[in-house]
A and B are shown apart, each in its own frame.
Chain A
Amino acid sequence: MTGSRHGKNGLYLEGKKLKRTGFYPAFLAGGLLSAAFPVINLAVRPESFLSLEGSPFHILMQANWQLMAMINVLLVLTGACIMYHTEHSGNAILKMSSLPFREGSLFLGKALVMASVCAVVLLIEAASVLFCTIHWFGEEGMLPEVLIGFGFSFLMLLPALLCSLLIASVCKNMWVSLGIGVVCIFLATMLPKDDFVLSLFPFAMPFQEISGEIHKLLQQVPETVWKLSAAAGAESALFIVLEFVFLKVRRWF
């Protein structure tokens, strides 16, 4: 009973705990910054993009996504660190653990808050990309492709999001979780992009994008797309399970 009450409440509660932490401004600023990349790129050197063949969406993603994804994944990591820093710094987590609700819902509430702000960030980015396709390429009908593309990006961001939260919940010191996360992101950028297994590394997934394959999507979902989606789902589930195991095991130490 309390569990379900907290479930409804969780998003609100975990959202409220972030007051005055700079969490929301950080995501807004990050979203605007990464949304600025395609616009600036096109404003500064339109000729190098407008002359390219193919879908404008694909051209834009090819040129900008690696940087935009980097910002997204850094935001997710920083956000996770801020979220658990509020729990650990004043030892509030100890009080939370002695209240009558399932502790897993604290983690899930945080994941829900973070997924929501990530959705907002991706929407800002999508709006910017859409604006570029219309303003510079004169292409009016790209909305469905852009939405599908960024929907996929959202899915690809989830494993990194949950993994960051898991790390931040385990490490009491925010700087340790931040350090681990930065090393993971650094590793992800060094992994070869064409190796499918290596591309499943949670912090590498956000760099994936499918703008080149969306036209195929309408007839048949390409194998890599559904494989990546399934992997993202499985990894997300895995990190949630790991967090629940951690919450159980922690009482033994």
Chain B
Amino acid sequence: MSNDRNIIEAHQLSRSYAGFRAVDRIDLHVPRGSVYGFLGPNGAGKSTTMKMLLGLTTPSEGYFVVDGKKNPENRVEILKEIGSLIESPAFYGNLTGEENLDIIRRILGLPKSAVSQALDLVGLTQYRRRLARNYSLGMKQRLGLAGALLGKPPILILDEPTNGLDPVGIHEIRALIRSLPAQFDCTVLVSSHLLSEIELMADRIGILNHGRILFEGTLEDLKAYGLTQGYPTGNLEEVFLAMVNEDNGRRGMIR
């Protein structure tokens, strides 16, 4: 049923909260070995979608398949393949960065060396003995990223990984994400508000607005799509904004 080319596929996936649909019947196709950029304004439903993929919330409709496995029957099997960073950083404040990663390492059953490798990848090695609650926002974000990279999982789900980082940090982490598929032979699903950011990392993008997919395809596809729709095309960010605005306008008329 699942396509071998796509490591993650969602079909009509929806999530409703008290009467409104945060995610509205979306179809996703994330090709194996790619960086997939998940783009949308605040409240579009990016985090909600990612939480569903991680089994943190139950879809109200639809289903998804991860590497041929279906949720919720294979929740643990699916999670074995995914490293994740969701929304705000999640950590034990009373433990050091290193101890935090060690907890995750033990649950994943990895060798001790995995922790120092992950710390090294995100540039936290010199702060590893500091308590996580005393980390700066950017350091917490890096700790979350290290937790996701631990054990080099075949799939990475990263929710706004550059949130709270300084410009140098943003550049560094982007370069890291960009290099992950080649380095670890993995697939990355990464979310952002900024097309300019996604443009630099992703092979394929999905644009989400008010819980609906407006566009899914490569950057070239988006360019071509912009041309046919008569959007300004000098700048892809403008295509994205025009698309969202037009969709918002349509919604305004329906309501």
Q: Which residues of A contact B (CB under 8 A)?
A: 2-3, 5-6, 9, 12-13, 16-21, 86-87, 89-102, 251-252
Contacts and interface: CB of A to CB of B under 8 A. Distances in A.
A99 B92 contact: no
A2 B54 contact: no
A96 B103 CA distance: 10
Contacts of A16: 95, 99, 103
A6 B95 contact: no
B168 interface: no
What does DSSP make chain B's interface, helix, strand, loop or mixed? mixed
A108 to B, nearest CB: 14
B93 A13 contact: no
Given A97-B56, A98-B79, A13 B91 contact: no
Given A9-B107, A99-B104, A251-B57, A90 B76 contact: no
B109 interface: yes
A194 B86 CA distance: 53
A2 B132 contact: no
A102 B72 CA distance: 13
A96 B86 CA distance: 12
B11 to A, nearest CB: 19
Contacts of A20: 94-95, 131
B133 A90 contact: yes
A99 B95 contact: no
Contacts of A90: 89-93, 132-133
Contacts of B92: 17, 86-87, 90, 92
B84 A91 contact: no
A92 B147 CA distance: 11
B6 interface: no
Contacts of A5: 109
Given A86-B94, A90-B133, A95 B56 contact: no
A20 B79 CA distance: 30
B99 A99 contact: no
B116 interface: no
Given A6-B107, A86-B92, A91-B90, A99 B79 contact: yes
Contacts of B77: 100
B64 to A, nearest CB: 14
B88 interface: yes
A17 B95 contact: yes
Contacts of B93: 86, 89-90
Contact of B84 (A3, A21, A98): A98
Contacts of A17: 92, 94-95, 103
Interface in B55-91: 55-58, 76-77, 79-80, 82, 84, 86-91
Nearest to A14: B103
A251 B58 contact: yes
A9 B88 contact: no
The 5 closest A-B pairs by CB, nearest first: A100-B79, A95-B90, A100-B80, A91-B90, A251-B58
B106 interface: yes
B108 interface: yes
A9 B77 CA distance: 19
Contacts of B99: 16, 19
Contacts of A18: 94
Given A13-B107, A251-B57, A95 B80 contact: no
A13 B109 CA distance: 12
Contact of B54 (A13, A86, A98, A252): A98
B104 A95 contact: yes
B106 A2 contact: no
Given A17-B103, A19-B95, 9 more contacts: A16-B95, A16-B103, A90-B90, A91-B88, A92-B92, A95-B84, A98-B79, A99-B79, A252-B58
